[in-house]
Amino acid sequence: MPFQVINSQPQLIAVIEQCSAAPVRYLDTEFVRERSLYPQFGLLQISDGNQVWLVDPLGIDDLSPLWQWLQQTDQLTVFHAFGEDLELLWHEGKIQFGNILDTQVAAAMLDWGSGMGFAALVERVCGVELDKSHSRTNWLARPLSEQQLQYAADDVHYLVPVAEALITELKAKGLYEACMNECSRLAARKDKSLANRYLDVKNTWQLNRQQLAVLRELAAWRYQRAMAKDMALGFVIKDLALIALARSQPESMAKLKQLNDVSPIEARIHGSKLLSLIADAKKIDKADWPEQIYRVIDIPQYKQRSKALAQLIQQQAEQADIPAPALASKRLINELLMWHWQQPKNDDKPVLLSGWRGQLVGETLTQWLATNC
């Protein structure tokens, strides 16, 4: 498949003008993410269904025309497994996609396979076995070889027939709008506040409310430092160390160094700052402590209720001719039970009672919750 490398702004603007005339744009990204907090942008692949362009972000000083174009929703945007792609584009240009389709989501909804890889989809639709030998390429290195560039180009070249086949079947089964609704939900992006970064730390349920107040301050500091250094969170200080510090709340360097889950290097580099943060956090008024965090297994009769709800979901999925995992994953079932159990309930409805799922099974699930929980 021929392709053109784009490494100047005039070339980029010309591509945007040409591709804007097509009803669909097919996209993929290549990046490097090893020790950094954010993915490091290496390449953007674009197709209008006929041609393929490889945009080199390292060769273009001003990418603002690209961000303005990607922000527009007139065209359908197609990705495969867009999670990390959207994270990258949100960080780089605050791109919020609306009219978007993820071929992995579409394949799951059609029961082709849950979490289906792109190579498997291409083989199913096109009968072509993709060469994945360049999947671990350093996309920040220059120059990229012809083979590496061809590998990148293939990802959007074959995305075209894959998406077309999936869209055709989705429409034939009456599932296209539901799939688009789901993709828009999954594509929604927003910045999480520093005050809520503690919710990303593992095992927060082990802490009481006062300890969570300390963890909140520690996690906010960690994230700020990670942003300043563009360093993965775990390379600043690990989750286990934050939990140990929030639980024990040491008042001296000697006591801090006694914590098994705080490494010597973490104590040496950050010890003084951590002690200061803990001392200040201990002064937080009780009224400002975070709410207690619960696990789904803390819900009374969780196993029985979860199993019964899964059986109901299975019945509803069969009636709608949708794979049960696509209708309700275990995570979504747990979210529904936790939302119903917690008092007072959150203002935001759980996913299973919203959007296309809410229209399909919302009333049935609401009735079940009222009589079984």
Q: Domain check: are 275 and 311 in the same one?
A: no
Domain end residue (candidates: 241, 262, 288): 288
Q: How many CB atoms lie within 10 A of CB 195?
A: 12
- Amino acid 342: pLDDT: 86
Of 155, 182, 239, 266, the catalytic one is 155
Of 26, 28, 198, 266, the catalytic one is 28
Residues in the chain: 373
CATH of the domain at 358: 1.10.150.80
Give the model's confidence band at 131: pLDDT under 50 very low, under 70 low, under 90 confident, else very high. confident
Q: Domain check: are 151 and 268 in the same one?
A: no
Beta strands in 13-65 (DSSP E): 24-32, 40-47, 52-55
> Both tokens of residue 175?
């599932």
Q: Domain check: are 204 and 116 in the same one?
A: no
Return the closest-CA partner of residue 153 out of 328, 10, 27: 27
C-alpha distances in angstroms, 88 versus 30, 33, 42, 95, 129? 9, 10, 10, 9, 28
Q: Domain check: are 130 and 151 in the same one?
A: yes
CATH of the domain at 138: 3.30.420.10
Phi-psi region of 94 (alpha: psi -120 to 50; beta: other; left: phi over 0): left
Domain end residue (candidates: 288, 319, 342): 288
The pTM (predicted TM-score) of the whole model is: 0.93
Q: Is 30 annotated in the active site? A: yes
pLDDT exceeds cutoff 80 at 280 = yes
| 119-124-126 Cα angle (round to 5) | 85
Q: Is 154 annotated in the active site? A: no
Q: Domain check: are 168 and 52 in the same one?
A: yes
pLDDT exceeds cutoff 90 at 1 = no
User: In this structure, are residues 73 and 99 in contact, taking their beta carbons and an 8 Å threshold?
Assistant: yes
Q: Domain check: are 222 and 355 in the same one?
A: no
Of 26, 48, 56, 85, the catalytic one is 85
Q: Is 56 annotated in the active site? A: no
In DSSP notation, 152-210 reads HHHHHHTHHHHHHHHHHHHHHTT-HHHHHHHHHHHH---PPPGGGGGGGSTTGGGS-HH
Q: Domain check: are 176 and 268 in the same one?
A: no
- Amino acid 347: pLDDT: 67
Q: Is 151 annotated in the active site? A: yes
Q: Domain check: are 127 and 225 in the same one?
A: no
Of 26, 30, 176, 217, the catalytic one is 30
Helices (H), the chain: 9-19, 64-71, 83-93, 103-109, 118-126, 146-157, 159-172, 176-187, 209-229, 233-236, 239-248, 253-257, 264-281, 302-320, 324-327, 330-341, 355-372
Q: Is 348 annotated in the active site? A: no
Q: Which residues pair with 27 in a beta bridge?
A: 46
Give pLDDT tens digits for 301-339.
Answer: 999 999 999 999 999 999 999 999 999 999 999 999 999
User: In this structure, are residues 253 and 274 in contact, taking their beta carbons and an 8 Å threshold?
Assistant: no
User: In this structure, are residues 29 and 89 in contact, taking their beta carbons and an 8 Å threshold?
Assistant: yes
As to burial, measured by CB atoms within 10 angstroms (0-12 exposed, 13-18 middle, 19+ buried), residue 188 is: exposed
User: In this structure, are residues 150 and 37 in contact, taking their beta carbons and an 8 Å threshold?
Assistant: no
Number of domains in the chain: 3
Give pLDDT tens digits for 190-214.
Answer: 889 999 999 999 999 999 999 999 9
Domain end residue (candidates: 154, 187, 220): 187
Q: Domain check: are 78 and 145 in the same one?
A: yes
Of 26, 151, 176, 223, the catalytic one is 151
Q: Domain check: are 37 and 147 in the same one?
A: yes
pLDDT exceeds cutoff 70 at 152 = yes
Per the structure, the complete domain to which residue 332 belongs is given by: 296-372
Q: Domain check: are 225 and 271 in the same one?
A: yes
Task: For residues 142-150, give the mean pLDDT.
Answer: 96
Q: Domain check: are 277 and 210 in the same one?
A: yes
Which distant-in-sequence residues (6+ apart) come within 8 Å of 12 by Cβ? 6, 55, 60, 63, 65, 66
Task: For residues 81-85, give the mean pLDDT.
Answer: 97
